[in-house]
Amino acid sequence: MRTALAELILPQASPLNGEVYDRIDAERLAGVLKALADPARLRLLSLIQASPDGEACVCDLTAPIGLSQPTVSHHLRILTESGLLEREKRGVWAYYRLVPSAIQAIADLLTPPRKRATKKAAR
């Protein structure tokens, strides 16, 4: 099984743990977050995840999202290059599915540690 690009480029440090990103880690994380920071891409991720098999073809996504096939393909390419989606070619069609570990890695970076959350709740 291949490792998602997002797992390879996301920093291990987290400001929520009191750690500081170096310039390279900050740039890498910003690239992945930039891929997420688009309403069409967020919708594509949710449409793919909500698909019966957890995967979808471009042909399944153009009508629900209301964008042309080239535009949808462009957004899917960005999400794939960021490591958030995997692409599998089947004949003339390409199918996309989320990379759960990449999504979880981003969530972990943005989730405060339990100790800190507990201390704030006790105040």
Percent of the chain with pLDDT over 90: 50
Residue 28: give its domain's CATH number.
Answer: 1.10.10.10
Bridge partner residues of 94 (DSSP)? 89
Q: Does a structural domain hold residue 119? A: no
Q: Does a structural domain hold residue 74? A: yes
Q: Does a structural domain hold residue 118? A: no
Q: Does a structural domain hold residue 71? A: yes
Q: Does a structural domain hold residue 44? A: yes
Could you tell me how far CA 55 lies from the centroid of its own chain?
A: 14
Look at the chain and report how many structural domains it folds into: 1
Other beta carbons within 10 angstroms of residue 116's beta carbon come to 12
Domain coverage including residue 44: 5-111
pLDDT(62) > 80: yes
pLDDT grade for 5, boundaries at 50, 70 and 90: very low
The pLDDT value recorded for residue 116 is 46
Q: Does a structural domain hold residue 97? A: yes
Q: Does a structural domain hold residue 68? A: yes
pLDDT grade for 89, boundaries at 50, 70 and 90: very high
Q: Does a structural domain hold residue 120? A: no
Q: Which residues contact 40 (CB under 8 A, 6 or more apart)?
A: 65, 67, 71, 72, 75
Q: Which residues contact 103 (CB under 8 A, 6 or more apart)?
A: 84
Percent of the chain with pLDDT over 70: 76
